[in-house]
Structure 1
């Protein structure tokens, strides 16, 4: 494991989508030298320094896109690990497809909004935020889980199609230099050439016991669709389920009827997330920092 260099600062900003007359919050984790403390965020406790001053240097930027009906806090083991080691991490709460408001789930609008809002988040951070001087604009990546994996592929150049075969209006963001896709909803890119413009390195995770995004709808679609499959680093996690990529939940939330907290019998999510965060860090370092 790579030892942390910094404490983790935490703040929130609001992104405005003027074209569609909506806004959404973004949680930021970033390097700071100010003291941190265990802080409650709803049912979660995270070791951060609220509204702390960012270290005066330049850092890569990573956007984390959550899954269907998810939240900004679900990948905190990854975001805090990266921030403590020199990354600025931005986590949008996707409009109309989050834990509070899931009204756009399964809609074409959701397929359009998600990649657009990743690009909007990058725009605002680079040009209108207190972090603009600290972001290295040549080192930007996206991490996405499940539907967030769809968003990562779309913003990296994937041409998506609805389940009815309707072309989705997406636009490649050439600022994205690498993506991490965890159990991605890649079925939207099944048509031939849908991923022909995705040319960035991809760290692709699939779970052997995933009932929602099985291998034929994730790894097979991506490896057969991108122009250079050698840029895809595939990791198949034995005995993991679709939700195993979400940070471990507090014990009070672990119950059989709450699927995001469940794993196949015998799977150790806590141990896996220590490995996962470090593996993502090493991948991003190899393609953003030392490339």
Structure 2
């Protein structure tokens, strides 16, 4: 049976934050795909189509600062067609439409909770719950989404220098309840500013990590923090992509958003993010199949 990409849009209530977390579920479906608009981003999906027969592992994508989950739409759809359900929460307060909590300790606490809420919502969704495997979840995180994935999985974060205005200048542990359902992580140019020595030592799970050689926002030291910080470095599969920048793992932006003064749309000179997608998508898919089987 040929799988198509279904799409279901839901609103998740975060009672702690007092906010709604808009979330898209992409899933293997039966139904005709049509080009749909999600803000400025377009993707061929079958809106509210019936799920395809079968049970599929769940993956959650955590977007970057002032971002949107739709910036990873091609990766998400690739995973759906490979047999995954993908949850894409928009981290309210740290999105392209509402970035009011950027740089705050509250944002550091909210983001991992959004991951847990998205997992809860997927596993109880009246349309999808019967089609989601209960054997474990993976989280894919880019930039501060990498922080989000690590914190949700059990890394103990501390407010950084930038956030200390929230706590009278003193560092403070970020209150996060680890989600034991998370079995593996995919980290893309992860931001690790908030993890100190020992913060990641409790993590003992498979991690696929991809970084960009020319990433100036979260350079290679952030990857080293993960490799040197987790309980077992042999569980980390890391590759540094030659010529790639911080935004290399995002989908190509629409023409009207592609301009020199919008950095997420730009690649370092001589590099094309679309050129790495076949291998990158294949690596992520194989890793998730192996770790969620």
TM superposition score category, shorter chain reference: over 0.9
Shift in Å, 1:251: 2.4
1:187 to 184, 188, 193: 193
Contact 2:26 2:85 in 1 (8 A): yes
Give the SS at the match of 1:112.
helix
Following superposition, the deviation at residue 51 of structure 1 comes to 0.9
Equivalent residue number for residue 289 of structure 2:
285
Match of 1:91 among 74, 88, 91: 88
Report the Cα offset of residue 27 of structure 1. 0.9
Matched, 1:198 2:203: yes
Please state whether the residue corresponding to 1:23 is helix, strand or coil. Answer: strand
In structure 2, the partner of 1:260 is 264
Question: Which of 223, 227, 234 is the matching residue for 2:227?
Answer: 223
Q: Secondary structure at the match of 1:98?
A: coil
Using a 3 Å threshold, how does the CA distance of structure 1 residues 210 and 287 change in structure 2: closer, same or farther?
A: same
TM-score calculated relative to the size of structure 2: 0.94
CA contact (8 A) 1:5 1:86 kept: no
Q: Deviations over 1:11-35 (max 9, x none)?
A: 2111111233221110111101211
Measured in 2, the distance between the counterparts of 1:129 and 1:15 equals 14
Deviation at 1:40, TM superposition (A): 2.4
Instruction: Report 1:1-40 matches (<5 A).
Output: 5-40=2-37
Aligned partner (choices 95, 98, 101) of residue 101 of structure 1: 98
1:149, 1:60 → 2: CA distance? 20
Shift of 1:129: 3.8
Deviation at 1:102, TM superposition (A): 0.2
Q: Is the 8 A contact 1:187 1:221 kept in 2?
A: no
Q: CA RMSD in A?
A: 1.3
CA shift, 1:163, in A, is: 1.1
- With 271-280 and 23-32 compared, the bigger mean Cα shift is at 271-280
User: How much does 1:176 deviate?
Assistant: 0.4
Question: Which aligned runs of 4 or more in structure 1 are off by greater than 4 angstroms?
Answer: none
Q: Distance in 2 between matches of 1:53 and 1:248?
A: 29
Native 8 Å contact 1:77 1:277 kept in 2: no
Deviation at 1:5, TM superposition (A): 4.3
The answer for the alignment partner of 2:59 in structure 1 is 62
Q: Distance in 2 between matches of 1:116 and 1:181?
A: 18
Which ranges of structure 1 fall in alignment gaps of 5 or more residues? none
On the 8 A contact 1:9/1:32 being kept in 2, the answer is yes
Shift of 1:37: 2.0
Structure 2 CA distance for aligned equivalents of residues 31 and 127 of structure 1: 17
